[in-house]
Structure 1
Amino acid sequence: MGMIPNDLLNTLASQLTQALPGASGAARMAQEELHNNVKILLSSALSKLDLVTREEFDAQTEVLHRTRAMVEALEKKVSELEQNKA
């Protein structure tokens, strides 16, 4: 499991905090603090999930395709050998 990308956390935290009514001054500082707290909570929650990066997923998908092709080739070869033996 890899680390959750910081840009993903920032995007999610921003989307959540933008749903709050906007204001200026102290309320704006509170919103920024909330943004940081939401980012920390998201990081914690997402790190507990068994997630993989897209690159890891694509690599494992390719391994699966190659393995499947090898199994199919072996099944064909076994079938041919069985037919020749009979």
Structure 2
Amino acid sequence: MINPTIIESITQSLIDHLPNDLASIKSETEKNFRSILQQQFAKLDLVTREEFDVQSAVLARTREKLDALEQTLNELTKNNNT
């Protein structure tokens, strides 16, 4: 899930760029922007930075194990050929 402060920041930026004569509908527009942003970010199927970092670490450990297994296999194959 996307950090709510990011949605708030984007919403505020959009509101700040509205012309001054639209101030009367600012509150309703702000709610609509927030809702649309939340819906669109939800559709993107994003992961948090923490989830990404955890999966990156798991992948790195898996890669290390695979490299070690490949090296062991190569040594065993080399020993069997001699």
**TM-score in terms of structure 1 length:** 0.85
The one-letter code of the counterpart of 1:21 is: P
Separation of aligned partners in 1, 2:50 and 2:66: 24
Quick one: which of 74, 77, 81 aligns to 1:82? Answer: 77
Q: Percent of counterpart pairs with the same letter?
A: 38
1:7-86 to 2 correspondences below 5 Å = 7-22=5-20, 27-86=22-81
The one-letter code of the counterpart of 2:26 is: Q
Q: Are the equivalent residues in 1 in contact too, given 2:2–2:41 (CA < 8 A)?
A: yes
**Alpha carbon RMSD of aligned pairs, Å?**
1.4
**TM-score in terms of structure 2 length:** 0.88
Runs of 4+ in 1 over 3 A off after TM superposition: none
Aligned residue pairs, count: 81
Q: Are the equivalent residues in 1 in contact too, given 2:2–2:47 (CA < 8 A)?
A: no
Local SS of the residue matching 1:20: coil
